[in-house]
Structure formats: C-alpha cells, structure tokens
Amino acid sequence: MEQSFIMVKPDGVQRNLVGDIVQRFENKGYTLAAAKLMSIPRETAEKHYAELKDKPFFNSLISFITSGPVFAMIWEGENVITEARKMMGTTNPLEAAPGTIRGDYAVQVGMNVIHGSDSPESAEREMNLFFSKDEIQ
C-alpha cells in the first residue's frame, strides 16, 4: 500500500495543531505507520530540502524548520501521496482553499504548518531520511 511522509512543522506543533491534523488523516481513512516528535538536525533539513538550495528563501526555510520540534509521520493508504497534498492545500496559504489544512490555519508561505511528500520518489527518500526501518509498523 502507498505511503507518504507527512510532517507537522514547528509552527503547527507550537500552535497545538498536531491533534487536528492527525484526526483529519484518520477521518479520511488513512493508517498511521510511524510517528515521532523530533528536532531536525540541520544536516537532515538541508538534505530534506536539497532541491531548493538555490532559492533565495533556502536559509530562512532551514532556520525555520530547525527552530523547534516537528511531528514526523508516515501515513499509509490508497493514493495517500496525492490525497495528502489536496488535504494540505497549496504551498501559499493565502491561495489554499478553505477546508484544507493550510487554508484553515496559515497565512504565511514560510510558516505553512505542514509538509507532505510530492511524489512516490520523494516519499521514499523522505521516509528513509526521517525514519529507520524498525520505527515503521
């Protein structure tokens, strides 16, 4: 069954949105395969966002994502990679539809509450970057 790497970012953890976000994925019918609260080492953050390293916002992105604990998860189920991206809403929360996580909870592109893998290749890479095999059910 398909799996995706989903992460509540430091703003979402600090604002107590973990419970709501977990609830949304449970309600949708997805199954939790792994979860942990963690601080991301700078090296891991740089690997995670490696494809953005030439963007002007890269340094602030890395500072933000390492600024406090994140809630890292693996969710499993039918078409979960694409569906999770729909549930999250667009990258810029001001363009995200109401009812989506970013549409409901964020206004700044740099603090948009949640990350979700954007392809099967990213999902595989990100799950391996954040979780060891024995942490996954």
Residue set of the binding site for ATP: 9, 57, 85, 91, 102, 112
Q: Is 115 a catalytic residue?
A: yes
Give me the residue label for tokens 């059910």: 137
Q: Is 110 in the site for ligand ATP (CB under 6 A)?
A: yes
Beta carbon nearer to ligand ATP, 23 or 91:
91
- Specify burial of residue 78 (Cβ count, 10 A radius: 0-12, 13-18, 19+): exposed
Beta carbon nearer to ligand ATP, 57 or 78:
57
CA distances from residue 4 to 11, 51, 127 in whole angstroms, order as listed: 21, 18, 8
Mark residues 27-56: x for contact with ligand ATP by CB under 6 A, - for none: -------------------------x----
Give the gyration radius of the chain's Cα atoms: 14
Which stretch of DSSP H or E encloses residue 122? helix 120-130
Q: Is 57 in the site for ligand ATP (CB under 6 A)?
A: yes
Tokens of 10: 């430091």
Tokens of 114: 């949640």
Beta carbon nearer to ligand ATP, 3 or 112:
112
Query: Which residue in 11, 62, 100, 115 is the catalytic one?
Result: 115
Name the minimum Å distance from CB 134 to ligand ATP.
Answer: 26
Q: Which residues are catalytic?
A: 115
